Structure 1
Amino acid sequence: MIVQRREAWTGRVFLVLLMVATIVPFVSLFVTALHQSGTYPAGLEWPSKPHWENFLTAFTAAHMGELLGSSVLIVLGVVPVSLLLATMAGFAVGHLKMAGRRPVFLMFVLGLTLPYESIITPLYYQIRDMGLLNTRWAIILPLIGLFMPFGVFWMRAHFVTMPGDVSEAAQIDGANTWQQFWRIHVPLAMPAISSLAILLFLWTWNQFLLAIVLVDDPTQRTMAGALGAFQGQWGTDIPLLCAGSLLVLTPTYVIFLIFQRRFVSALLQGSLKG
């Protein structure tokens, strides 16, 4: 009993320390963003007169309206296609008894070990030869391919736990493989699909490296990628830089807070099935 209480208190202390270590940097950003533009704040000192107008100044200076539209277009180009392809491939290698599914799955697993930083140079020349450099397609198409290994791995983990009796019953009722996929397995996989959609959204929205390497125009990048241009212009103005960073991060906070229950439920569902 004493050991259990000690373990419980140790876990709570660890969670509190982890929460503090996570929240303090964002609090520091917020407090710094409220100082007068052009100053160099020290620590977590709350300003005597908060300058809320810094957020409006950063929004205008960084052309956040155009960046928001660009990021939405990139997300709409990446996330739905990636979800569709990953779900279909995960269903094929995880549930269907297709020939060669193990080598195919191992190839996707191998893709998880490949850091895309190592392929950025050949990717640049390939995108240039395709005539897509400095366009949003230079971000959308590579991201779809780069997300496939994880997406297929994620969806296979769901479909591999689905009992074969479900498909056999559908076959008896006259449903072909395509009908089984859309009418039975996709609705049952919605927790896994929705949680994968959240992850893909966050990764796409916060994409930085591909945006700054493959696109020169900041208004054609993601919001995170355009932050590099904003930093080059306002790098010496710490309060405005912090305000711009918070504006870029805000959509990801909102999305995660709205869908956190669905995301956690999908993770718990996977742990219970496993």
Structure 2
Amino acid sequence: MNLSRREQLTGRLFLIALVLVTLLPFVSMLSAALQPRGTVPTGLAWPSDPQWGNFVDAFDVANMSALLRSSLLIVAGVVPVAVLIATMAGFGLGHLRVPGGRFAFLLFLLGLTLPFEAVITPIYYQVRDFGLLNTRWAIILPLIGLYMPFAVFWMRAHFVNVPQELADAARVDGSNTWQLFWRVQVPLARPAIASLTILLFLWTWNQFLLAIVLVDDPAKRTMAGALGAFQGQWGTDQVLLCAGSLLILTPTLIVFLIFQRQFIKALLQGSLKG
């Protein structure tokens, strides 16, 4: 019992230390963002007169209303399509066991090993040949394809663990494959679909590389991609740069905090099934 209490105390102390280390950069950025314009922030010194108006200035200077709209359009173009395709592919590979499914799954696994940086050059030339450079489609279409290896792997991991008896019972009731998918499998896969949606939203919102390489107009990029242009223009104003960075990070933090229970539920469900 003493050992168990000691382990619990050690675990709590470790978690507290981990939280402090994680929050330290955000606290440092917040303290820097509240300093008077034109000053050089130092350490974690909290300003005696916080300049909350710096966030308004950063929002106006970076034209974040247009960036917010652009990011939402890109997310709306990527996430629903990617989740739908991945769910259907995961069902086919994990539950239907379609012919050639193992080979296809191996190809998806190989896709997991390819970083974005390794394929950015061929993507650029392909997007250019399609005439999509400097459009939001130059970000949306490649991201859907680049997300497929992980997304299909994620959904397949759920469907492969669904008991076969449920499908057999649905077949006995007269359900065809399409009805089995929508009426039986998709409702059971809601935690996995929700967590995948959260992940793809966060990754798309924070996508930086494709937005910088394929789109010249900052107003057509993601908010994270536009940060590069913002940094180039206001890089000497560290106060404004920190304020703009926090504004860009805020939506992802809000989404994760709202849906963290669904995300953790899906992870725990997968670990218990495994």
Give the TM-score normalised by the residue count of structure 1. Answer: 0.98
What is the distance in 1 between the residues matched to 2:67 and 2:175? 45
Trace 1:173-212 onto structure 2 (pairs within 5 A). 173-212=173-212
Aligned ranges for residues 3-18 of structure 1 at < 5 Å? 3-18=3-18
Corresponding position of 1:237: 237
SS in structure 2 opposite 1:95? helix
Inter-partner Cα distance in structure 1 for 2:6 and 2:166: 46
Deviates more, 1:162-171 or 1:60-69: 162-171
User: Which residue is 2:157 aligned to?
Assistant: 157
Equivalent position of 2:81 in the other structure? 81
* Deviation of the 1:138 alpha carbon: 0.3
Corresponding position of 1:265? 265
- Is it true that 1:254 corresponds to 2:268 in the alignment? no
Deviations 1:79-101 (A, max 9, x none): 00000000000001100031111
2:219 aligns with 219
Shift, 1:171, TM fit = 1.1
Once the two structures are superposed, what CA deviation does each residue of 1:195-249 show, in whole Å capped at 9, x if it has no partner? 0000000000000000000000000000000000000011000110000000000
- Offset at 1:62? 0.3
Deviations 1:52-102 (A, max 9, x none): 110000000000000000000000000000000000000011000311111
Large movers: runs of 4+ above 4 Å = none
Cα distance in 1 for partners of 2:71, 2:179 equals: 34
Number of corresponding residues? 274
CA distance in 2, matches of 1:3, 1:232: 55
Is 2:70 the partner of 1:70?
yes
101-110 or 210-219: bigger deviation: 101-110
Aligned counterpart, 1:90: 90
Q: Distance in 2 between matches of 1:229 and 1:152?
A: 34
Distance (Å, rounded) in 2 between the aligned partners of 1:45 and 1:116: 38
CA shift at 1:172, angstroms? 1.1
Point out where structure 2 has 5 or more consecutive residues left out of the alignment: none
| Offset at residue 3 of structure 1 (A) | 2.7
Q: CA deviation at 1:8?
A: 1.8
What is the CA–CA distance in structure 1 between the aligned matches of 2:38 and 2:215, rounded to whole Å? Answer: 29
Correspondence for 2:106: 106
2:44 alignment partner AA:
L
**Helix, strand or coil: the match of 1:90?**
helix
Cα distance in 1, alignment partners of residues 7 and 48 from structure 2: 44
Cα deviations by residue, 1:126-161 (Å, 9 ceiling, x for unpaired): 110110000000000000000000000100110000
Q: CA deviation at 1:7?
A: 2.0
- 2:171 alignment counterpart: 171
* Shift of residue 194, structure 1, vs aligned partner: 0.4
Matched residue SS, 1:148 = helix
Shift of 1:41: 1.3
Aligned mates of 1:108, 1:146 — CA distance in 2:
10
1:30 aligns with 2:30: yes
Take 1:117 and 1:217, find their aligned partners in 2: how far apart are those partners? Answer: 21
Percent identical pairs in the alignment equals 69
After TM superposition, give the deviation of residue 122 of structure 1 in Å. Answer: 1.2
Residue 128, structure 1, aligned to residue 131, structure 2: no
Q: Which runs of 5+ in 1 are unaligned?
A: none
